[in-house]
Amino acid sequence: MIGFCDLHYAVKSIFLVVTFVAVCSSICLLPRVFSRKKLMPKLLVPLCFLLSGAMLILFAAQVKSAHPSWHISPIIESVTELPVILPILLLLAVITTLLTIVIKEIKFEKNSITRSSVKESLDSLNTGLCFAYKNGMVMLINHRMNNLSHTIFGRNLQNVNAFWENLSNGEIQSGVTRLSMGANPSLRLPDERVWTFSRKVIDGITQLTAAETTKLNKLTEELKEKNAELTVMNERLRKYGENVDKLTREKERLETKVRIHRELGQALLLTRRYLQVDSDNTQELLNILKRNIAMLRLESESLKNDEPLIMLMKAAHSAGIEVLITGQTPKQEDANRLFFEAATEALTNAVRHADAKKLCVELTEDDKAYFVYFTNDGSKPQNKIVEGGGLGSLRLKTEQIGGTMEVLYQPEFVLKITVPKKRGDVL
Amino acid sequence: MINVLIVEDDPMARQLLEIYINTSEKYNHIQSVESAALAEFCCRTNKVDVVLMDVCTAMNASGLDAAEKIKKSFPDTKVIIITSQPECSFIDRAHKVGVDSFWYKSSAAEEILSVLDRTMAGEQVYPESAPSLKLGNTFSENLTDRELEVLRELVAGESDAAIAEKLFMSLRTVKGHIQSMREKTGFRNRTELAVRARESGLIINNK
């Protein structure tokens, strides 16, 4: 029988190379099989490693013994003289075992969820994802999140807590822009893509995610622009409504003038008829003439309305009540209207509940707001004022324009209203 | 003599009404005020038998709001609303707040005095229907109540979302009503619809 020592040098070399490959393969497989639960691969792979390793050492020593200075031990010599079929069969068995285990490993990798498959799937996500311990130390991170950290801060993500803080306040790379901060910070990267980050703590584990919101951001910006346009348009519409009010009044006045002319014409015709038929109903004729003259006077007069508080003073004066006003009326339209309404309410209440003869109106203002105080000289309220329809409605209107209303009853009745100045009105 | 209070912000219209009252034998003009906010006070301090009041008065005070207060505090005082505005909701609201009579300002002196006489005789004088107004290709009576509600908010300058929230409807429904009104009137967009509705006097807000 031919032993290994009788083989041709080239065949020996091939045998040794194949054995070496088997040794390397079994070394590579060792950590994998020991991470699995199955027992058989855990036994077979070390056995293959030992057998192939022993063969490599023995046969390599035999090949080396060809050198004159090398003295081979008798045990090695006797092994190499064994029929060559034995080591070949042994090597084939080792290779077959290893191949079987490799194929099973590949199948297992493909069909089972393993640590590496989880990592692999996370890395293939377009969303940035990172899990960390409470202290911020990274547990699992995918490529996208690491790339984002690199693009934003120029370094890998080491600590989630520090990363989260830096998203809002830290130094960022040039070309990166912060779009919005708060619960979900958004940043625009140099490639014009927008990423929104969010953080969530699940059972003590921090989950950090980054989603690409470029389209959403674009749509939101477009929506904001459209809303701004709409707000401007609605405001213009509101102002237009006010202008239409003025125009309507002018139109109404014109119609009144037309009506006066029409009635004057009718009155003249009636007068003529009365004179022609020599009617006895002189009282009716007198009334018509009186109306005629009054109308003619009306046309020649320049008619103008009083200022709001003068209107109030006149109405109060006709009822024997004096209204004392100090200070200037607000320039702000909503405050002016509200203060006038409050004044009429205060006047009505002063007459109704306090039998007052004097109403004091004190108007003041500072940089931020307009104030009005109403007091009267009537009987002082004994109990807390219960706000009925009038004061209740006034409070509602005050609050609708952002103001505040206070009703005091001790030591005397005081109605105090504050209306904040609008931005354009603040000095 | 029947005491009359006139509430009218337009000085010419106010004085014209004063002339009508002063030249009649039955009525006595006791006071005129520009703002409806002062009407209740005047009723409280004077013996007022009837109030002749406009809807839109000085300082944005509503004659209809004032009428409601007067009818609550002085149920015997008659209130006649006179307006030049064809606003579709005025008549309904006047009925609701207990206004005795409702008439239009453009009427001749005799007609207004006749409304006064009939009201004082206990009659409720109202126009048979709200005036029909042309709005684009349609007339005001062809718009539904809900459409008019949406139109009112539109004229006030509210966004579609705000209208939906205020009127308890979905955004889609609001858009549907606006689209329906645009189709009926033939107006190109919501702004034109709002502007024309306001110009025609069909919608007058805050009154």
B116 and B138, same structural domain? Answer: no
Q: Are B74 and B43 in contact (CB under 8 A)?
A: yes
Rounded to whole angstroms, the Cα distance separating A117 from A107 reads 13
Q: What is the pLDDT of residue A143?
A: 92
Mind listing the pLDDT tens digit for each residue in A298-325?
Answer: 666 666 777 788 888 888 888 888 889 8
Tens of pLDDT along A234-261? 778 777 777 777 777 777 778 777 877 8
Confidence of residue A208 (pLDDT cuts 50, 70, 90): very high
Q: How far apart are the first and last CA of chain A?
A: 115
Give me the pLDDT at residue A425, please: 43
pLDDT tens, residue by residue, A86-139:
888 999 999 999 999 999 888 887 888 777 778 888 888 889 999 999 888 999
Instruction: Give a yes or no: residue B190 inside a domain.
Output: yes
Residue B115 confidence (pLDDT):
92
Q: Does A256 touch chain B (CB under 8 A)?
A: yes
Q: What's chain A's average pLDDT? A: 84
Gap between the Cα atoms of A388 and B130, Å rounded: 34
Residues B92 and B138 in one domain: no
pLDDT score of B178: 92
Considering the domain architecture, whether residues B89 and B21 belong to the same structural domain is answered as yes
Final residue of a structural domain among B87, B120, B153: B120
Look at residue A299 in the predicted model and tell me its pLDDT.
63
Residue B16 and residue B92 in one domain: yes
In 3D, which of A177, A174, A173, A197 has the Cα closest to residue A187?
A: A177
| Partners of residue A3 on adjacent β-strands | A83
Q: Which residue has the higher pLDDT, A342 or A5?
A: A342
Nearest CA in chain B to A258: B106
Question: CATH code at B174?
Answer: 1.10.10.10
Q: B113 lies in which domain range?
A: 2-120
Chain B residue numbers with beta carbons less than 8 Å from the beta carbon of A249 are: 9-10
Q: Which residues contact A192 (CB under 8 A, 6 or more apart)?
A: A214
**Domain annotation covers residue B168:** yes
A255/B106 Cβ within 8 A: yes
Which positions 380-419 of A are in contact with B (Cβ < 8 Å)? 389-390
B139 and B168 share a domain?
A: yes
- On whether any CB of chain B is under 8 Å from the CB of A317, the answer is no
**pLDDT bucket at A381, cuts 50 / 70 / 90:** confident
Dihedral (Cα; A305, B50, A254, B130), 10-degree rounding: 130
Q: Which among B120, B149, B164 is the end of a domain?
A: B120
Is position B128 within any domain? no
Q: How far is A381 from chain B (nearest CA, A)?
A: 20
pLDDT at position A303 is 66
d(CA A233, CA A238): 9
Of B128, B123, B177, the residue nearest B149 (C-alpha): B177
In a domain, B11, yes or no: yes
| Structure confidence at residue A385 (pLDDT) | 76
Q: Is residue B115 part of a domain?
A: yes
CATH assignment of the domain containing B104: 3.40.50.2300
Which residues of A, range 341-380, sit inside 8 Å of B by Cβ? 341, 344, 347-348, 351-352
SS3 at position A42: helix
Strands A322-326 and A358-365: parallel
> Are B43 and B10 within one domain?
yes
Residues B157 and B115 occupy one common structural domain: no
- State how many domains chain B has: 2
Residues B54 and B7 in one domain: yes
SS3 category, B14: helix
B150 plus B96 within the same structural domain: no
- Would you say residue B172 lies in a domain? yes
Q: Are residues B80 and B139 in the same domain?
A: no
Let me know whether B28 and B83 are in one domain. yes
Q: Given B98, B120, B142, which residue is the final one in a domain?
A: B120
CA angle A170, A173, A179 (to 5 degrees): 70
Q: ipTM beyond 0.90?
A: no
Burial code (b: 16+ CB inside 10 Å, e: under 16) for B45-70 equals beebbbbbbbbbbbbbbbbbbbbbbb
B205 within domain boundaries? no
B22 and chain A: CB distance < 8 Å anywhere?
Answer: yes
Low-confidence ranges of chain B (pLDDT < 70): 205-207
The verdict on B116 and B173 lying in the same domain is no
Q: From the CA of A244, how many Å to the nearest CA of chain B? A: 6
Residue matched to tokens 């520009």: B34
Helix (H) or strand (E) holding A377: none
> Would residue B206 count as lying in a domain?
no
Cα separation, A342 vs A336, whole angstroms: 10
